[in-house]
Structure formats: structure tokens, C-alpha cells
Amino acid sequence: MQTPNYWFPIEPHFLVPFFHWLPKPVRIWSVLHFNIGWVKKARSHDKAKEILEHRSLLSEKQLRGLFPDGTLYREKLVFFTKSLIVIRNNKRA
């Protein structure tokens, strides 16, 4: 499985640096008022919250918690880990 890294400075869905690190009320307000990156402006407060909840990013620690038996790889861009990849080996005897 591959997922964007929470600690990479550019949020890949909204294409805005540091957007995912802003307080949730600021992100909700932004999604209510603007088309941002790949995401169209929300029509309601509830829809804005839903949009954000379905585009949450995982940290390495969270990904390891989901796949403790997997091997973790880091996709780098310059000095930053852009995305995280975990591969499970489910060998059966």
C-alpha cells in the first residue's frame, strides 16, 4: 500500500503547502469558500468536513500501526519523504 506522508510539506489533494497542518476550522472555511487543488468548493459545512475527513494523511507511525508486520519503504523527493509504502509478505506454509 502507498500513501502520502503526513510530514511532507505539500498536501497532495489540495496542492497547497502546509494546508494539512492548518487548524481544522481554517481548512473547513477554506474548502467552503474556494476550489483548492483537485477539490471543488463544498456546498455546506458538513460537506466540507466530509471532504477533509476523506483526505486525511498518515504518518509513518500510523502506517506502522496499521501494518506492523509489513516492510516500510520511503519514497523521497530531495530531503523529504513524499510518500510511504508498506509491503506485507503473507507466505503460507
Burial (Cβ within 10 Å: 0-12, 13-18, ≥19) of residue 48: buried
Give the phi and the psi of residue 85 in degrees, each rounded to 5. -125, 130
8 Å CB contact between 22 and 48: no
What is the model's pLDDT at position 60?
A: 95
Q: Is the pLDDT of residue 68 over 80?
A: yes
89: pLDDT confidence band, cut at 50, 70 and 90? confident
Q: Cell numbers for 30, please give them.
A: 477554506
Q: Cell numbers for 29, please give them.
A: 472555511
What is the model's pLDDT at position 88?
A: 86
- pLDDT tens-digit map of 10-47: 999 999 999 999 999 999 999 999 999 999 999 999 99
